[in-house]
């Protein structure tokens, strides 16, 4: 595939920063990044952008990229999420050079906190959350110091040790950094860095009853791991002074540079773990891996190739601009990959019986068709042609709209890879519904055009007797509005027709036994992949994406 041989890897402002760091021999010419998810939900397309960025940087600069779980809030975290995250990162195609957990550093983090206290840079506060909030001030007014701010170092040390020892109730005390209650940056108004919480931690169990906060933990974890460039999203820009403050006050192995970029915003989707969790919990979807979910697991189940996600992340770029990506960009990446790589197959989603009266009843011809019209190296397969075939209900119209290119009464159509047939009659049931077509075939049209006339269209088909029953799940976008988050309640933007199940599909017999996650292009209808719900008696396919349809719809 020469198309992907010379990918033009776009550059972005982070490359510029690193390039100049390298030129100045900062960090001894090394580059180390990390992807730091909190294990409180499944990874989504927004995380994919961050993963591609961080692992991509390490690859580009021959550096390292760590996977680090930011597991400092045991109330929301679980091992299920840890496992899912590792699975998703690997599936996306990345290998971490080191695996870490912020919880691995709890001991060191505690020692650093003691040092901060000894230096007079942190104090134990007995204020309630309400008092802390009230004293924090507002965006335009400075905060007021807590009465505990002047507590002695000795007393702070004693109290902090006893916090750890479990002598106090949850919430009774917190440890705060002593910075500046009048700072125009609210994050610098003595942020809480430790809280008491008697919660079982998925990794450290009940070893701790105090847990460090993100701002305190993240920078130190980066420094401990020797991260050189700590990349995060824009909402942490205001936290950078705090990141730098902690590392400046403490004697750490290094001082990583925090760089912020704009998080992904994709039309018709939502990338908030809280809201995605809500969709799962309230059963608006089948689970975190529901094919409609923008999660990595969901897209994987839908049949989206990892390479398409990587391509997408590359195309959208990395900037600090608040941007919205049109849904078509992702779809294009998916189609581009699948068009190149998916084998073709014949499948009829909503069958209509076609009896070819001119074709011998007992006869079966094995017709050779290409697995991929543009890639002969992918071989050919044989399809059984029989007297009774099934075509798509949509491919026949008694009263065709203008420019209809399919079968009509008295008209001819090419059955893809087979004969040209002509429709003589439509058989209807008592309700007037068409249940069968009576046709004849032109035996002289196999592999060649009929003489003296042009056939306007080609449709797909499957042998009635020699095909497999299949359930086809047609997925559409989960939200009917491009910006679900703009709604007071995002659930109101849900597309109630996001899933259509077709129970009576038929697919060509060669698909028997094809493994889950295998993708095929069902000619003329779209890309589909085998779902894990498939059984020996009934295959199940998920529609990944439709084919482009360039014509005006009726």
Partner RNA sequence: UGGGUCGUCGCCAAGCGGUAAGGCACGGGGUUUUGAUCCCCGCAUACCAAGGUUCGAAUCCUUGCGACCCAGCCA
Q: Which residues are catalytic?
A: 38, 263, 273
Q: Which of 65, 524, 96, 45 is closest to 308 using CA atoms?
A: 45
Q: Which stretch binds RNA (CB under 7 A): 22-30, 50-58, 138-146, 509-517?
A: 138-146
Please give the sequence-ordered ranges of beta strands (E in DSSP) within 347-466, or none if there are none: 347-348, 351-356, 365-370, 380-385, 388-392, 412-415, 420-428, 434-442, 458-459, 461-463
Q: Which stretch binds RNA (CB under 7 A): 6-14, 49-57, 89-97, 507-515?
A: 6-14
Helix, strand, or coil (residue 154)? helix
Residue number with CB closer to RNA (217 or 498): 217
- Of 336, 365, 436, 442, the one binding RNA (CB under 7 A) is 336
- Of 50, 72, 257, 258, the one binding RNA (CB under 7 A) is 72
Residue number with CB closer to RNA (415 or 540): 415
Check residue 295 and report its DSSP letter.
Answer: B
Helix, strand, or coil (residue 129)? helix
Please tell me whether residue 159 binds RNA under the rule CB under 7 A. Answer: no
Helices 214-225 + 240-249 axis angle, to 10 = 60
Residue number with CB closer to RNA (121 or 197): 197
Q: Which of 218, 267, 271 is closest to 43 using CA atoms?
A: 271
Residue number with CB closer to RNA (434 or 458): 458
Residue number with CB closer to RNA (13 or 538): 13
- Residue at token pair 């026949």: 396
Residue number with CB closer to RNA (370 or 533): 370
Please tell me whether residue 328 binds RNA under the rule CB under 7 A. Answer: yes
- Of 4, 11, 364, 444, the one binding RNA (CB under 7 A) is 11
H or E element: which one contains 82?
A: helix 79-92
Please tell me whether residue 406 binds RNA under the rule CB under 7 A. Answer: yes
Q: Answer whether 307's CB lies under 8 Å from 337's CB.
A: yes
Residue number with CB closer to RNA (309 or 499): 309
Q: Which stretch binds RNA (CB under 7 A): 126-134, 249-257, 294-302, 424-432?
A: 126-134
Angle at 288 between CA 283 and CA 293, to 5 degrees: 90
Please tell me whether residue 133 binds RNA under the rule CB under 7 A. Answer: yes
Q: Answer whether 469's CB lies under 8 Å from 538's CB.
A: yes
> Could you please report the per-residue DSSP string of 305-360?
-HHHHHHHHHHH---SS---B-HHHHHHHHHHHHHHHPEEE-EESSEEEEEETTS-
Question: Rounded to a whole number, what is the largest CA-CA distance in the chain?
Answer: 102
Shortest distance in whole angstroms from residue 193 CB to RNA: 9
Please tell me whether residue 203 binds RNA under the rule CB under 7 A. Answer: no
State the CB neighbour count (10 A cutoff) for residue 187: 18
CA distance 156 to 146: 14
Q: Answer whether 413's CB lies under 8 Å from 458's CB.
A: yes
CA distance 128 to 120: 22
- Of 200, 207, 324, 513, the one binding RNA (CB under 7 A) is 324
- Of 6, 25, 140, 535, the one binding RNA (CB under 7 A) is 140
User: Token pair of 472, please?
Assistant: 């086809």
Please tell me whether residue 57 binds RNA under the rule CB under 7 A. Answer: no
CA distance 457 to 393: 15
- Of 99, 154, 207, 323, the one binding RNA (CB under 7 A) is 323
Please tell me whether residue 38 binds RNA under the rule CB under 7 A. Answer: yes
- Of 19, 111, 167, 235, the one binding RNA (CB under 7 A) is 235
**Considering only residues 426-455, where is the footprint of RNA by CB under 7 A?**
445-449
Q: Which stretch binds RNA (CB under 7 A): 46-54, 495-503, 529-537, 544-552?
A: 544-552
Shortest distance in whole angstroms from residue 163 CB to RNA: 11
Shortest distance in whole angstroms from residue 533 CB to RNA: 25
**Considering only residues 354-373, where is the footprint of RNA by CB under 7 A?**
372-373
Burial 61-72 (b: 16+ CB within 10 A, else e): bebbbbbbbbbb
Angle at 204 between CA 202 and CA 208, to 5 degrees: 120
Please tell me whether residue 211 binds RNA under the rule CB under 7 A. Answer: yes
H or E element: which one contains 233?
A: strand 229-233
- Of 318, 349, 389, 499, the one binding RNA (CB under 7 A) is 318
Q: Which stretch binds RNA (CB under 7 A): 85-93, 281-289, 291-299, 311-319?
A: 311-319
CA distance 395 to 405: 9
Shortest distance in whole angstroms from residue 313 CB to RNA: 10
- Of 73, 202, 228, 542, the one binding RNA (CB under 7 A) is 73
**Total residues contacting RNA (rule CB under 7 A)?**
91
Q: Which stretch binds RNA (CB under 7 A): 54-62, 223-231, 321-329, 352-360?
A: 321-329
Helix, strand, or coil (residue 458)? strand
**Considering only residues 16-35, where is the footprint of RNA by CB under 7 A?**
16
- Of 122, 124, 296, 325, the one binding RNA (CB under 7 A) is 325
**Considering only residues 460-519, where is the footprint of RNA by CB under 7 A?**
none
Residue number with CB closer to RNA (405 or 480): 405
Please tell me whether residue 322 binds RNA under the rule CB under 7 A. Answer: yes
Q: Which stretch binds RNA (CB under 7 A): 184-192, 248-256, 292-300, 463-471?
A: 184-192
Please tell me whether residue 105 binds RNA under the rule CB under 7 A. Answer: no
Q: Which stretch binds RNA (CB under 7 A): 195-203, 246-254, 379-387, 424-432?
A: 195-203
CA atoms within 13 Å, Cβ hemisphere of 48: 30
- Residue at token pair 């008295």: 410
User: Token pair of 467, please?
Assistant: 């095909």
Q: Which of 12, 36, 73, 102 is closest to 236 using CA atoms?
A: 36
**Considering only residues 237-296, where is the footprint of RNA by CB under 7 A?**
237-239, 262
Please tell me whether residue 5 binds RNA under the rule CB under 7 A. Answer: no
């Amino acid at each position: 595939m020469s198309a992907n041989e010379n990918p033009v890897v776009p550059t972005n402002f982070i490359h510029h920063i690193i390039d100049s760091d390298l030129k100045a021999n900062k960090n001894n010419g090394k580059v180390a990044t990390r992807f730091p998810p909190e294990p409180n939900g499944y990874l989504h397309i927004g995380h994919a952008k961050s993963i591609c960025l961080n692992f991509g940087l390490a690859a580009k600069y021959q550096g390292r990229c760590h996977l680090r779980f930011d597991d400092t809030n045991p109330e929301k975290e679980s091992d299920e999420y840890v496992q899912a995250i590792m699975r998703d990162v690997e599936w996306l195609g990345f290998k971490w050079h080191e695996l870490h957990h912020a919880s691995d550093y709890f001991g060191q983090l505690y020692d650093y906190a003691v040092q901060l206290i000894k230096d007079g840079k942190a104090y134990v506060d007995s204020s309630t959350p309400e008092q802390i909030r009230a004293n924090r001030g507002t965006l335009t007014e400075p905060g007021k110091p807590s009465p505990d701010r002047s507590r002695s170092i000795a007393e702070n040390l004693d109290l902090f040790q006893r916090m750890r020892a479990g002598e106090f109730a949850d919430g009774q005390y917190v440890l705060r950094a002593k910075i500046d209650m009048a700072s125009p940056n609210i994050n610098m108004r003595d942020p809480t860095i430790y809280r008491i919480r008697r919660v079982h931690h998925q990794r450290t169990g009940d070893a701790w009853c105090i847990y460090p906060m993100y701002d305190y933990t993240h920078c130190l974890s980066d420094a401990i791991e020797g991260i050189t460039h700590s990349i995060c999203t824009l909402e942490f820009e205001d936290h950078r002074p705090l990141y730098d403050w902690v590392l400046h006050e403490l004697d750490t192995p290094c001082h990583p540079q925090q760089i912020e970029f704009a998080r992904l915003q994709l039309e018709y989707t939502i990338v908030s773990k809280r809201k995605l969790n809500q969709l799962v919990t309230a059963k608006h979807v089948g689970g975190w891996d529901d094919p409609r979910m923008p999660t990595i697991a969901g897209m994987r189940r839908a049949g989206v190739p990892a390479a398409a996600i990587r391509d997408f992340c590359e195309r959208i770029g990395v900037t600090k601009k608040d941007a919205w990506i049109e849904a078509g960009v992702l779809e294009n990446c998916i189609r581009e990959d699948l068009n190149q790589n998916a084998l073709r197959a014949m499948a009829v989603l909503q069958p209509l019986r076609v009896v070819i009266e001119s074709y011998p009843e007992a006869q079966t011809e094995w017709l050779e068709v290409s697995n991929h019209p543009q890639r002969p190296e992918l071989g050919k397969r044989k399809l059984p042609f029989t007297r009774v075939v099934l075509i798509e209900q949509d491919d026949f119209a008694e009263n065709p709209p203008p420019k209809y290119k399919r079968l009509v009464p008295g008209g001819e159509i090419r059955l893809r890879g087979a004969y040209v047939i002509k429709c003589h009659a439509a058989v209807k049931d008592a309700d007037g519904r068409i249940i069968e077509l009576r046709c004849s075939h032109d035996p002289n049209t196999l592999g060649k055009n009929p003489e003296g006339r042009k056939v306007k269209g080609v449709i797909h088909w499957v042998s009635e007797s020699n095909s497999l029953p299949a359930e086809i799940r047609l997925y559409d976008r989960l939200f009917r509005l491009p910006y679900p988050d703009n709604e007071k309640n995002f659930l109101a933007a849900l597309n109630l027709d996001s899933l259509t199940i077709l129970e009576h599909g038929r697919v060509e017999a060669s698909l028997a036994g094809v493994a889950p996650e295998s993708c095929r292009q069902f000619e003329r209808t779209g890309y589909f992949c085998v779902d894990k719900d498939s059984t020996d008696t009934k295959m199940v396919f998920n529609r990944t994406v439709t084919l482009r349809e360039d014509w005006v719809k009726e």
